[in-house]
Amino acid sequence: MPSLPESFVLIRQGLGGDVALDIVRRIPTRVSRLVLIGTDPLSEPPQAAVSREIRMQAARVGRLADAILGEVPPNCLADTPWRDEVLALVSDMAMGLGEGVYLRQSRALQRRPDQQKTMRRIKLPTLVIAGACDTLVSLRRQEFTANLMPFGTFTVIDHAGHLPTLEQPEAVLAAMETFFNGPVLLR
């Protein structure tokens, strides 16, 4: 990872959070702070992998929009006046990326490793942000994630579900500003 700066803050959501944990595992001294949003760092349970396989098959036969709706159903977001707009934005982004990207990301989610060992070793300030109404990654799972890390902090965003950065961007920004203005830990 030579193209990365010597020191940087890593902010990732969902599957990107799993990638971030792998980056921290590989180059822990280069990441100064970590923010995980709606991230599930545990292996995918078999039942969830089977459901994902069904959605992947739908995408392969030309029903990518249905597969996306299965990945991000309306009930995983908070019941706000802009929920339909957020769902439409997510669908547009996914459709724009296409079936190939959807299938690769789905396969990565199915095969993601359990990151508990990595999280216990992370010795840097970490903020875990969860939407209060997230039904895809439970608050309990996300709080568990924060508690596994020696310098983990857990923040819940009210009136947000699985995509708090789109549902309540101002609240997410405020949480990150508070975190970034906190004390810097020496390693």
Overall pTM surpassing 0.85 (yes/no): yes
Question: Are the beta carbons of 51 and 138 closer than 8 angstroms?
Answer: no
Query: Residue 47 carries which side chain, given as an amino acid letter?
Result: Q
Length of the chain: 187
Burial (Cβ within 10 Å: 0-12, 13-18, ≥19) of residue 134: buried
Q: What element of type H or E holds 32?
A: strand 31-37
Which sign does the torsion angle of CA 134, 139, 141, 145 carry? positive
pLDDT-based confidence at 182, cuts 50/70/90?
confident
How far apart, in Å, are the Cα atoms of 136 and each of 44, 132, 133, 139? 12, 11, 9, 9
Is pLDDT at 178 greater than 90 in this prediction? yes
| Residue 70 C-beta-side C-alpha neighbours within 13 Å | 19
Tens digit of each residue's pLDDT (9 = 90 or more) over 23-47: 999 999 999 999 999 999 999 999 9
